[in-house]
């Protein structure tokens, strides 16, 4: 990773259906194919699937953990950041991304979307979260990553 490498945060449920798991893994793979680093919460569900997709395609994965225990990170995380902040780590996850891709989730995901919008990070929803005008929408993993990268290109580099 180098200073100019784009980072895309992927957010979603800690427990997910098989369909969402497959979608998350595809999102991670697309992030790696586009040369960006993946940032996530580092645990299970959407986070693990997205990290697996990126990791298996040669991408860099960063996990921002809610605890101090590095061992709680899923096996696909390359860089583990143990925060001890619990849900407070959600703001770190989205602040670490140049853009955010939101998959189906619950309250934690909703808080991450809100933080991302407050911070001016582009949010691209795929599979859920289609009820807010400030959120960009995609129909596939590839379209989500391309939309995120296009939105990043329209943003100032130093926010």
For 105-136, how does the pLDDT look when each residue is reduced to its tens digit (9 = 90+)?
999 999 999 999 999 999 999 999 988 889 99
Query: Could you give all domains of the chain from N- to C-terminal order, each with its CATH number?
Result: 7-135 (3.40.50.450)
Of all helices (H) and strands (E), which one includes residue 109?
A: helix 107-118
Q: What pLDDT, on the 0 to 100 scale, is given for residue 144?
A: 97
pLDDT band at 35 (very low <50, low <70, confident <90, very high): very high
- In this structure, the number of other CB atoms found within 10 A of the CB of residue 69 comes to 11
Does the pTM exceed 0.85? yes
Work out the average pLDDT over 87-114.
Answer: 97
Cα–Cα dist 89/148, whole Å: 22
Work out the average pLDDT over 131-150.
Answer: 94
Q: Which residue has the tokens 């225990």?
A: 69
Closest CA to 16 of 39, 46, 41, 40: 46
Angle at 148 between CA 39 and CA 140, to 5 degrees: 95
Query: Is 159 a residue whose pLDDT tops 80?
Result: no
């Amino acid at each position: 990773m180098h200073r100019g490498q784009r980072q895309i945060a992927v957010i979603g449920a800690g427990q997910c259906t098989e369909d969402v798991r497959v979608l998350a893994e595809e999102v991670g793979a697309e992030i790696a194919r586009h040369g960006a680093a993946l940032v996530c919460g580092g645990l299970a569900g959407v986070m693990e699937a997205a990290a697996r997709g990126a990791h298996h395609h040669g991408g860099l994965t960063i996990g921002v953990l809610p605890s101090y225990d590095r061992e709680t990170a899923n096996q696909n995380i390359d860089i583990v950041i143990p925060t001890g902040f619990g849900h407070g780590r959600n703001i770190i996850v989205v602040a670490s991304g140049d853009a955010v891709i939101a998959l189906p989730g619950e309250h934690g995901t909703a808080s991450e979307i809100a933080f991302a919008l407050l911070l001016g990070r582009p949010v691209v929803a795929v599979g859920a979260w289609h009820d807010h005008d400030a959120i960009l929408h995609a129909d596939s993993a590839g379209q989500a990553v391309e939309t995120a990268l296009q939105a990043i290109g329209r943003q100032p580099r130093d926010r």
